[in-house]
Amino acid sequence: MLFLDHLPPFLFFTGKGGVGKTSLACATAIRLADQGKRVLLVSTDPASNVGQVFGVTIGNTVTPIDAVPGLRALEIDPQAAAQAYRDRIVGPVRGVLPETVVKGIEEQLSGACTTEIAAFDEFTALLTDAALQADYDHIVFDTAPTGHTIRLLQLPGAWSGFLEQGKGDASCLGPLAGLEKQRSQYQGAVAALSDARRTRLILVARAQRATLREVERTHEELAAIGLTQQYLVINGILPQSETSGDALAVAVWRREQAALAELPLVLRDLPTDHVPLMPFNLVGLSALRQMLSTPEVSAGDSVDAVALSDAPDLATLVDGLIGDGHGLIMLMGKGGVGKTTLAAAVAVELASRGHPVHLTTSDPAAHLAETLEGSLANLSVSRIDPRTETERYRQQVLATKGKNLDEQGRAMLEEDLRSPCTEEVAVFQAFSRVIREAGRKFVVMDTAPTGHTLLLLDATGAYHREVARQMGASGMHFTTPMMQLQDPAQTKVLIVTLAETTPVLEAANLQADLRRAGIEPWAWVVNNSLAMAKPGSPLLRRRAATELAQIDAVASRHAQRWAVVPLQPDEPVGVERLQRLTRHGTASGENITMNDETYNAEPRVPRKQEEK
């Protein structure tokens, strides 16, 4: 593997959600430790699953992986980091200042901005702590999905520059109180990230056009902030040997090969490795040790054909979503499970039934227009773009609060609005506008990957608490965005997952987080199911067989309502294919030609889903 040659101390694995960053980071850390290296594996993903992959509890402290001598792991827990950060700031003044003042400081420190800064604080310490680095030959970072990671890697420069210019009156003054002390640490982090002798970035992708386009954008954005030492790993490629006699495998293989042939020009010069699709889930040491090798699937490894014919389909769920003809439908889940595609499919199904629909996304890495690849009556599409919303918010504030300020006052306000925390407020305002619109039409929202979405909900909750505090004493009636999210008559949350151990566990954890926020998920959707697609190749049959236990767990333990969407032979792009996606039968209803033979799967009629 090229990306393993002449390794520097810091390795960053990044890419779109669901491409296998965690598995590759874990497999790399194990391989280095097996070679006698001292390795620290760090997850910066708010929805980290490193502990689940190893089958141990890790958390926010450096934890030895007993089964792998030389390997330790750490999951940066944003909430735990934020609490420790708040304690450091509030602790010295508690009992000294009046209680009302202390509560005001705590409220300032309750939002997602503080959570981001606190997690980032721990991240930069790992890059600059000489004593810690002396203990390890390599520190391997398993990062959050692309949009969140770019934000994290940009922050050292953003905060360092913000502090150098002496911006002390920012809207997030509370969080900034702790940042001034970290100026040299942030400058050191910038130096480490931009030094090719110390840092290597591994861009992880799948052999899919949309994913490779996302990697192209990531490459350019990270190069622009000085991270030029980049490698490309394309993960999970179906071997051609698996295509014999299996129409589905042929279609998947051809789709992947076409995507590889169209690799964006800027990526072709990067050192590139291909990792084959494994016939097993990448959980546990044995599986991870095989990931960077090329295991063969023999005839003895195959299982009987696996079929799942009686699961409800997505159209059945849409039947139950119609209700009063309007409302907010939010699709949530881990990155890479197909939220964007399924959000588009739900929106297209509703619009095709004559309902007005607004399809939108809060995912910085989502591209709904590319998924739809066309237009449909009754359907409008938008995106909550952080940069656009931040600029809109800045202009709004300057036009209102800055209207009557003198030149010096306006200059101070403009500097205040350059704080990286301004983005939090701007995105929350856009999110609130979308929620209000759901009172008169269907709004289908494709959310960002789990951790980023929970930060957005955290901001929504903080706003709700502040409004309730201010309005409660007056006795006035009020409705906040959080109250609308908690009302099942107004909001339906669909949790999207894959029929694999780790995604189902993460979806269950997300459901628990939502319930703590007073939001009850309405349904689960198992996407890209091989068991429903009835594959023929030995490798795909083995993977299909492992799905059955996970689908049963969703249906019997986790979900009030559920549906299964089969793996598609054709990429589900365009209105017509999205419409077919919602119903079982052939994934596309089209014949697949293979080796001059024609295959046409027989459609199946889904079982009517019963309400639980």
Residue 470 pLDDT: 52
Catalytic position from the list 21, 334, 492, 534: 21
pLDDT tens digit sequence for 221-231 = 888 877 788 99
User: Position of tokens 């934890």?
Assistant: 63
Could you tell me if residue 492 is inside a domain? Answer: yes
Strand partners, 594: 597
Whether residue 91 has pLDDT greater than 70: yes
Could you tell me if residue 394 is inside a domain? Answer: yes
Choice between 146 and 2, residue whose per-residue pLDDT is larger = 2
Query: 48, 24 in Cβ contact below 8 A?
Result: no
Query: 114, 174 in Cβ contact below 8 A?
Result: yes
Could you tell me if residue 295 is inside a domain? Answer: no
Catalytic position from the list 199, 497, 502, 537: 502
Catalytic position from the list 14, 16, 17, 18: 18
Q: Which of 57-71, 89-103, 212-226, 558-572 has the lowest mean pLDDT?
A: 89-103
User: Total domain count for the chain?
Assistant: 1
Q: Is 21 a catalytic residue?
A: yes
Q: Is 23 a catalytic residue?
A: yes
Catalytic position from the list 45, 142, 416, 458: 45
For residue 415, what are the domain limits? Answer: 314-599
Could you tell me if residue 547 is inside a domain? Answer: yes
Q: Is 269 a catalytic residue?
A: no
Could you tell me if residue 149 is inside a domain? Answer: no
Residue 365 pLDDT: 60
User: Position of tokens 């594996």?
Assistant: 41
Cα–Cα distance for residue pair 194/16, rounded to 1 Å: 22
Cα–Cα distance for residue pair 335/395, rounded to 1 Å: 32
Catalytic position from the list 15, 16, 17, 20: 20
Query: 126, 110 in Cβ contact below 8 A?
Result: no
pLDDT tens digit sequence for 237-263 = 999 999 988 999 999 999 999 999 999
Query: 203, 233 in Cβ contact below 8 A?
Result: yes
Residue 564 pLDDT: 95
Per-residue confidence band for 590, with pLDDT thresholds at 50, 70 and 90: very low
Mind giving me the DSSP string for 501-524?
Answer: HHHHHHHHHHHHHHHHTT----EE
Task: Give CA 450 to chain center in angstroms.
Answer: 5
pLDDT tens digit sequence for 104-117 = 767 666 665 666 66
Catalytic position from the list 23, 149, 243, 371: 23
Q: Is 16 a catalytic residue?
A: no
Residue 153 pLDDT: 54
138 three-state secondary structure: strand
Listed in order, strand segments (DSSP E) in 461-587 are: 491-498, 523-529, 562-566
Choice between 186 and 587, residue whose per-residue pLDDT is larger = 186
Cα–Cα distance for residue pair 17/32, rounded to 1 Å: 24
Vertex 495 angle, CA 433 and 323, to 5°: 65
Cα–Cα distance for residue pair 8/113, rounded to 1 Å: 32
Count of residues making up the chain: 612
Give the CATH number for residue 371. 3.40.50.300
Whether residue 346 has pLDDT greater than 90: yes
Whether residue 473 has pLDDT greater than 60: no
Cα–Cα distance for residue pair 521/538, rounded to 1 Å: 36
User: Which residues 6+ apart lie within 8 Å of 588 measured at CB?
Assistant: 568, 569, 570, 577, 580
Q: Is 245 a catalytic residue?
A: no
Query: 209, 249 in Cβ contact below 8 A?
Result: no
Could you tell me if residue 429 is inside a domain? Answer: yes
C-alpha atoms less than 13 angstroms from C-alpha of 324 in its C-beta half-sphere: 14
pLDDT tens digit sequence for 153-180 = 555 455 445 445 554 444 444 444 455 5
Mean pLDDT of 411-436: 73
Could you tell me if residue 582 is inside a domain? Answer: yes
pLDDT tens digit sequence for 427-441 = 777 877 887 888 889
And the tokens for 403?
């209207």
Residue-averaged pLDDT of the chain: 79
Choice between 607 and 191, residue whose per-residue pLDDT is larger = 191
Cα–Cα distances in angstroms (integers) from residue 569 to residues 19, 269, 311, 518, in the given order: 19, 30, 19, 39
Catalytic position from the list 14, 22, 218, 586: 22
Could you tell me if residue 507 is inside a domain? Answer: yes
Write down the H helix ranges in 292-385.
Answer: 314-321, 339-352, 368-372
Cα–Cα distance for residue pair 157/152, rounded to 1 Å: 10
Residue 214 pLDDT: 83
pLDDT tens digit sequence for 14-42 = 887 778 888 999 999 999 999 999 999 99
